Amino acid sequence: MKEYFENKVAVITGAASGIGLGMTEHLLKRGAMAVFMGDINQENLTRESERLNLLFPGKVFTVLADVTKLEQVGELITKAEAFDGHLDFVFNNAGVGLTLPTEKITFEMWKTAIDINLMGVIYGTYTAIPIMREQGFGHIINTASIAGRIPIPYQAVYAATKSAVISMTESLQYELKADGLQFSILCPGNVITSIFQGLAAPPADAITVDEAMDYAFQEIEHKSLVIIFPQSMRDIDVLYRENLPEFEKVVYSLAAERRENYRTKGTYY
């Protein structure tokens, strides 16, 4: 089903590294007409877009866009739509991780996480919707996290932003299907990106961006609403919904492990 992405115009936020960069590469490999990469990191945007433009000339565009600023997200999406008069995909992907004990969380941290992880996705989604309704098609893919599906100790702030992304996007799917719109939610577990920079090694169950995107793009083509990866996260998600006592054993043991890691190594992983 390569044609699902062929000759399509896409927008990606947080496209200059990690999962967003993987999305860019996978769209180009699958024949996209143009990918508009948005990010706040100009250096990475320039380096990666120049590299990709050699492989896919005339198909990669960059916009310095901070997802906490509605007008900058608007500019990114408007430019993409103006390119060929249609907007096929919007990947609201920019986000920041936060794993901290409650006593270290400030209200300022809450606000920053909500502004980037939730308001950023809201700005992208609600800017794209009227354009897509008008044209009668479009697929919006919002990056959440497994932490939005199941409770994870030391990630209350992050989880709150990601579960809001999940429930908003699910609601929109059922409201706007009749207008020709499609929604998907990515719920990654551990994927090796700069999120794990500074650790001696990424978590043992972490997969590469390429492995993650192979699975995610196959599911996006199938128009799956909730896309969870890797397999171990699909298993734990089912455990949470179908066998809470067993799930709780796993999650209390994770809490103990994180407490001990933090005490001995200063990090949770």
Ligand X SMILES: NC(=O)c1ccc[n+]([C@@H]2O[C@H](COP(=O)([O-])OP(=O)(O)OC[C@H]3O[C@@H](n4cnc5c(N)ncnc54)[C@H](O)[C@@H]3O)[C@@H](O)[C@H]2O)c1
Name the site residues for ligand X (rule: CB under 6 A). 13-14, 16-20, 39-41, 44, 66-68, 93-97, 116, 143, 145, 188, 190-191, 193-195
Report, in Å, the least distance between residue 131 CB and ligand X: 20
Q: Which lies closer to ligand X via its Cβ, residue 33 or residue 191?
A: 191
- Looking from the CA of 96 toward its CB, the CA atoms found within 13 Å total 18
Tell me the C-alpha distance between 12 and 91, whole Å.
5
Contact 145, 228 (CB under 8 A): no
Please tell me the number of Cα atoms within 13 Å of 75 on its side-chain side.
Answer: 14
- Residue 235's H or E segment, with its range, is helix 231-242
Other beta carbons within 10 Å of 225: 14
- Specify the residue, 34 or 118, whose C-beta has the smaller distance to ligand X: 118
Q: Which residue has the tokens 């200059």?
A: 16
Catalytic (active-site) positions: 158
Q: How far is the CB of 80 from ligand X (least distance, A)?
A: 15
For strand 138-143 and strand 60-64, is the pairing parallel, antiparallel, or unpaired?
unpaired
Asked if 128 contacts 81 with a C-beta cutoff of 8 angstroms, the reply is no
Query: Least distance in Å: CB of 135 to ligand X?
Result: 25
- Shortest distance, CB of residue 3 to ligand X, whole angstroms? 27
Q: Shortest CA distance to 136 belongs to which of 88, 79, 181, 183?
A: 181
User: Measured from the CB atom, is 49 or 145 closer to ligand X?
Assistant: 145
Q: Which is nearer to ligand X, 133 or 234 (CB)?
A: 234
